[in-house]
Amino acid sequence: MPELPEVETVVQGLKKQCLSQPICKALIHLPRIVNGTAPSLKKALVGQEIVTVTRHGKYIFLHISNDKTVVVHLRMTGQLFTTPVDRAKDKHTHVELFFDNSDTKLIYRDIRTFGRFTLINTSDKERYLIDHKLGPDALTMKKKDLIEALKNRKVSIKAALLNQEVIAGIGNIYVDEILFREKLNPLTTPSSLSDDAIGSILKTTKAVLKKAVLNKGTTFSDYVNSYGEKGKFQLSLKAYNRAGQPCSNCKTTIVKVKVAGRGTYFCPSCQKL
């Protein structure tokens, strides 16, 4: 589900909803979504509060008031949102956080249960980024760093942009949107691109991701923000999930193929190899 714009939308919402509220109870209904042990995570949370929430790529960092940080990754179908405290949980709700004096609780829902919670020491955050091979965040990456990261890559441009070590935050929806707007075939070899072409890719990447953030992300089935609301950027997609529909530039039919093991949508006329 969630790529950078969806994760950023969740983070912005959580900062408005959940900061500086003492956590009085934590329920972890599905312990296997926790890296480490559920009891140690629960112990770290209860009696503390969320001091701030940050993001790098698709990773969410809940900084807790005891110098601990809970790293949350939503993977495909994870949802982090608030709901009334008295609303009964359904079978896909795996974590519930209750706050003092609040009529809402923060819950984690995940149909496919790929998402993970990890407890780290806040001082180990940089180490965590390195260990998980996360490159610069897509919204702040510098042109020269993308040029360097793409140098000597033998994979397709699509695979390279999906590689979180190259650039963090792009996923399967937005990579297709970026390549469509750049008129680049997904199979293009990165080494064939000029420095200016790479600069253009980065500029388009930031523009697409920022516009998606303003639209509160893209919802196809499961994604909701921290208020439980769907995104709207699916209305602005030009390539992803548009197989059989006319290209917005040339009216050629958008096709779907498989690149880098992922469903890939592109215009065979505008995005020639």
What amino acid positions are annotated as catalytic residues? Answer: 2-3, 58, 262
Q: Which of residues 6-25 bind DNA (CB under 7 A)?
A: 6
**Residue 112 in contact with DNA, rule: CB under 7 A:** yes
**Residue 180 in contact with DNA, rule: CB under 7 A:** no
**Residue 222 in contact with DNA, rule: CB under 7 A:** yes
**Residue 2 in contact with DNA, rule: CB under 7 A:** yes
210 and 139 in contact (C-beta within 8 Å)? yes
**Residue 136 in contact with DNA, rule: CB under 7 A:** no
Considering beta carbons, is residue 69 or 164 the nearer one to DNA? 164
Considering beta carbons, is residue 1 or 120 the nearer one to DNA? 1
**Residue 133 in contact with DNA, rule: CB under 7 A:** yes
Among 15, 43, 143, 153, binds DNA (CB under 7 A): 153
Considering beta carbons, is residue 50 or 166 the nearer one to DNA? 166
CA 14 → CA 18, 54, 224, 226, distances in Å?
Answer: 5, 10, 13, 6
**Residue 57 in contact with DNA, rule: CB under 7 A:** yes
**Residue 189 in contact with DNA, rule: CB under 7 A:** no
**Residue 39 in contact with DNA, rule: CB under 7 A:** no
**Residue 150 in contact with DNA, rule: CB under 7 A:** no
Stretches 12-20, 100-108, 142-150, 153-161: which one binds DNA (CB under 7 A)?
Answer: 153-161
Among 13, 135, 136, 171, binds DNA (CB under 7 A): 171
Considering beta carbons, is residue 25 or 89 the nearer one to DNA? 89
Q: Which of residues 243-262 bind DNA (CB under 7 A)?
A: 260-262
Amino acid identity of 32?
Answer: R
**Residue 132 in contact with DNA, rule: CB under 7 A:** yes
H, E, C per residue of the chain: CCCHHHHHHHHHHHHHHCECCCEEEEEECCHHHEECCHHHHHHHHCCCCEEEEEEECCEEEEEECCCEEEEEECCCCEEEEEEECCCCCCCCEEEEEEECCCCEEEEEEECCCCCEEEEEEHHHHHHHHHHCCCCCECCCCCHHHHHHHHCCCCCCHHHHHHCCCCCECCCHHHHHHHHHHCCCCCCCCHHHCCHHHHHHHHHHHHHHHHHHHHCCCCCCCCCCCCCCCCCCHHHHCCCCCCCCCECCCCCCECEEEEECCEEEEECCCCCCC
The residues of the shown chain that bind DNA, judged by CB under 7 A, are 1-3, 6, 32, 57-58, 73, 75-76, 91-92, 111-114, 132-133, 153-155, 159, 162, 164, 171-173, 218-223, 260-263
